[in-house]
Amino acid sequence: MIRTFQSNERVEAIEFKDLSTIQPIISFTGMSVNVAFAPDGTLKSVTLKKDKTELVAIPGQFIYKNDTGTCGICNYEYLAEKYKEVTGAEK
């Protein structure tokens, strides 16, 4: 689920939880992805790539996109501190 947060700047974010969130992340960012697994087979990280940009997220982190289309990686705490979540609110 894409969640919306805003302050003076608006960002949308999607949580990288597990393999089921890979396709929504690709659709959301427009970036290609590589998935890394630990030796025991657990999901370790996802690397997003587009042109010279490369972002690495671990499960539980959020991939966000701002008004200009720039993507980044952060934890929920960062979003909660900087923005008010407005998911589902009237716009």
For the stretch 30-69, what's the b/e string if a residue is b when 16 or more beta carbons lie within 10 angstroms of its beta carbon? Answer: ebebeeeeeeeeebeebebeeeeeebebeeebbbbbeeee
* pLDDT tens, N- to C-terminus, the chain (91 residues): 889 887 778 899 999 999 999 999 999 999 999 999 999 999 999 999 999 999 999 999 999 999 899 999 999 999 989 888 888 754 4
Tell whether pTM > 0.95: no
